[in-house]
Structure 1
Amino acid sequence: MKRALFLGLVAASLGLSACSSPAFALEEPVNAPAPKRIAKEGAGLKIAIFAGGCFWGVEGVFSHVKGVKSAVSGFHGGSAGTASYNRIISGGTNHAEAVKIVYDPYVVRYDELLRIFFSVVTDPTLKNRQGPDVGAHYRSALVPMNAEQSAVAKAYLKQMGTSKVWKRPIVTRIEKHRKFYSAEKYHQDFMAKNPRHGYIVRWDAPKVKALKAMFPSDYRAKFLRDAT
């Protein structure tokens, strides 16, 4: 199911493609378990990459998290020659829609970002899909940028699998870091620029509301607009 199937008239008025048709029930947030393995990241800003379906919502949630300094929508896992939105949604490029964030671990640690991600952003039991969006480019994946993130990610996925919070098996995978390609400019800060877009209202705004309700100490009311 390709994104352009939904809101054809709205997309045309905006001059861009949209995410898929909201033909399914709304996703429900999950109270993911508090991580047992605490990230020890030291001082200085860190980078993390998350793939969890349509990058509009992933970017939108992390742009409301305190300690996140930058959130960029893009593509991870494929080659430069096919790293464009229209090519990727046609399938077969091996990219995943992903978001690269820069964060201050003294404000929000990597393990805390993982808990937020699996509580309100992505369903770790869905393979090659999220919500109404279907395809390998919508897969749920973690891309550790260093040994510490890798250890924390592995420990948390294992913890999730034995937590009994999810009724189905955890299928989110850890992927080796490859080059990250920024998406086209119109995808950046999409939620902030298009708050009334049908897909945002139906699928992504509820994720931000869940972030505020479930993680009030981590929630930042102002959307962090990226300077890139």
Structure 2
Amino acid sequence: MPGILLGDEFPNFEADTTIGRMRFHDFLGDSWGILFSHPADFTPVCTTELGRAASLNDEFQKRGVKMIALSIDSVADHISWSKDVMAYNNDPKSDLPFPIIADHKRELSVQLGMLDPDERDKSGMPLTARCVFVIGPDKKLKLSILYPATTGRNFNELLRVIDSLQLTARKKVATPVDWVPGQKVMVVPTVPDTETAALFPSGVTTKELPSGKKYLRYTEP
């Protein structure tokens, strides 16, 4: 099945959405983007997911991230279901703060490798899986995660990975396991010790290891 790999330029597809016809790169502009798919409108797990995404929209906006959802349902269904999503959030008078793409012909889902072979609609056609694509301002894919239909996503984790991606795009560091903003980061192996003082004025600490190799180097973000 076709798909897209890390570092690939994300397709500048054209699609119908709940805010009208759009070209994806025009929608993103100079922003970061998250495109995430769900199996179907008017289903339980998907409603909780989009509700959580909507409640965190301000946090994503603070990071300069635009969100857009996708499933194989029609624009009309998306608009109707959005009211349920916001009612689930106990905010029925507000609109869903991000658009949803209608991919009823599954053309985009096939192109991006988003279909779940184990989840099908009443006619036997495959539904979209719970994909997540993070796209940088350069329009290249920075992260992808694929969940089955039965497992809801953690949108707090998506905020965490956005924080990591944006930090590591600016500095020659990597974020260790379970890292959250404010914790120390790691100097990437390609930075020689002779350059660390200039790059990391707060200092670098190195953990001593049995191998004697000094690759666990920590610094402040």
Q: TM-score, normalised by structure 1?
A: 0.30
Structure showing the higher helix proportion among its residues: 1
- Of structures 1 and 2, the one with the larger relative CO (CA 8 A, separation 6+) is 1
Larger Rg: 2
Structure showing the higher strand proportion among its residues: 2
